[in-house]
Chains A and B, each alone.
Chain A
Amino acid sequence: MSAQSLPAKEKSRISQLIQGLLIGLVFGFLLQKGGVTKYDVIAGQLLLRDFTVIKVMLSAVLVGMAGIYTMKGLGWVELYPKSGSLGMNVIGGLIFGVGFAILGYCPGTIAGAVGNGSMDALVGGVAGIMAGSGLFAALYPWLNEGVLKWGFYGKVTLPQLFKVGERKMVLIAAAAILVVLAVLEVARL
């Protein structure tokens, strides 16, 4: 069957898959160049000896935020803030953090670690992440009736929460990120 005869829905699905692959290729390339596909760099960050991870993340957030809020203002993009609750984000976040420190990779960087040749990531880590995800899926009906609903706040964003304009909130967040990065540089961390 030639590409022209594929139904429109199937074509758009294939196009989405190719876009995902291309974005992933660039993302993986950048993660490896940043050194964050390595256990020593991630564990070094959690031990507060090496601040590479925080520098990469905060500069990504700074540049990304400026761009997506500008494009949102122009009507080019929509935002997709995730719904949440204290029960989800605090408890889930802390469990994630424990795993983050023991494993020394996160779901994105572990894929990069596999590409970088780290076999502990492939043999132990990827299998573990899939097992943990499956365990959650099994417990989901029960958790969803209780703890995941505690302290529900939904898809609220910081400008909505603090009742300030989006532009002002973006400037405040950008200034805060720049201060943190400046402190890290001054302290030679």
Chain B
Amino acid sequence: MDYLKEIRWSPYVVGAGIGVLSWLSFLISRKPIACSTAFAKASGMIEKMIRGDMVDSKPYYQKVKLVIDWQWMLVTGIVFGSLFSALLSGDFHLQLVPALWASRFGTGAVKRILAALLGGICLGFGARWADGCTSGHGISGTMQLALSSWISATCFFVGGIVTARLLFRF
């Protein structure tokens, strides 16, 4: 049981674990693990609370129905699974500005929150545009050997590496 209390596991153990979890997801739920559509549903649900049922008739929400589904619960599960792991190992830290960010941009919270908001907008917009994220395309799609996913995953990292270099200028 002490292993569960360790702060970090080998990335290969974690990766293999996610691989086995994918088998179970295909076998039991008949679905690949994916995350980003849940955020689109949450976004549409909030819009629906404000603007009413007409939101359901938007063409995108005809395709992606605004209901709490398997994936929505999966993303909820991630929050609590991570919390459980962090509490077990004493690695839970309330933090607003990450150390690496602070080393380049300073400890200002407002700057970090605004950047996270802007980054999140690009990330959410890009995930819908590409129809998947680092889990749906990057892990589940590439393991199925889907062309769409290999191209997307490559572009996630090309875009990410170039942008990170520009942000950190070195």
In the complex the two chains form, is B131's CB within 8 Å of A88's CB? yes
- Given A20-B73, A123-B116, A129-B124, A106-B139 contact (CB < 8 Å): no
A111 to B42, CA, bound (A): 13
B22, A40: Cβ atoms under 8 Å? no
List the 9 closest pairs (A to B, CB-CB), nearest first: A97-B159, A128-B120, A24-B77, A84-B148, A93-B155, A28-B81, A63-B19, A59-B15, A124-B116
From 33 to 66 in chain A, residues with beta carbon under 8 angstroms from any chain B beta carbon are 33-40, 43-44, 46-48, 52, 55-66
Binary interface profile of B, 134-162, with partner A (CB < 8 Å = 1, else 0)?
11111111111111111111111111111
Say how far B3's CB is from chain A's closest CB, in angstroms.
9
Q: Give the nearest-CB partner of B24 in chain A.
A: A23
In the assembled complex, the Cα of A129 lies from the Cα of B167 at a distance in Å of 20
Q: How far is the CB of B106 from chain A (nearest CB, A)?
A: 14
The residues of A that contact B91 with a CB separation of less than 8 Å are 32, 116
Chain B residues near A84: list those with CB within 8 A. Answer: 130-131, 146-149, 151-152
Write the residues of chain A forming the contact surface with B, with a CB cutoff of 8 angstroms.
16-40, 43-44, 46-48, 52, 55-68, 71, 76-86, 88-104, 106-121, 123-138, 140-141, 143-144, 148, 153, 155-159, 161, 166, 169-170, 173, 181
B97 with A17: CB separation less than 8 A? no
Min CB–CB distance B140 → chain A (angstroms): 8
Interface residue tally for chain B (C-beta within 8 Å)? 127
- Distance in angstroms from B112 CB to nearest chain A CB is 5
Q: Interface on B for A, CB 8 Å cutoff? A: 6, 8-9, 11-12, 14-33, 35-36, 38-40, 42-44, 46-47, 58-61, 64, 68-86, 89, 91-101, 112-165, 167-168
Residues on A with C-beta less than 8 A from B136 are 82
| With contact pairs A137-B43, A140-B59 given, residues A99 and B125 touching in the complex (Cβ less than 8 Å) | yes
B137 vs chain A, min Cβ distance (A): 7
With A and B bound together, what is the CA distance between A156 and B146 in angstroms? Answer: 6
Contacts A33-B85, A133-B127, A156-B147; is A40 near B100 (CB within 8 Å)? yes
Contacts of B145 in A (CB 8 A): 65, 81, 157-159, 166, 169-170, 173
- Whether A107 touches B6, Cβ cut-off 8 Å, given contacts A63-B19, A97-B156, A97-B160, is no
A133–B128 CA distance with the chains assembled, in angstroms: 6
A128 to chain B, nearest CB (A): 2
Contact, CB under 8 Å: B80 / A115: yes
| Contact for B59 among A98, A141, A156, CB less than 8 A | A141
Q: Which of A29, A64, A97, A108 contacts B155 (CB 8 A)?
A: A97
Decide if B122 touches A96 in the complex (CB within 8 Å): yes
Bound CA–CA A158/B141 (angstroms): 11
Contact A92 B128 (CB under 8 A): yes
* 23 cross-chain CB contacts under 8 A: A20-B72, A20-B77, A23-B33, A36-B14, A39-B100, A46-B164, A59-B12, A59-B14, A62-B19, A63-B15, A63-B16, A82-B146, A91-B130, A93-B159, A96-B127, A99-B126, A107-B35, A111-B75, A129-B120, A134-B44, A136-B124, A153-B148, A156-B147
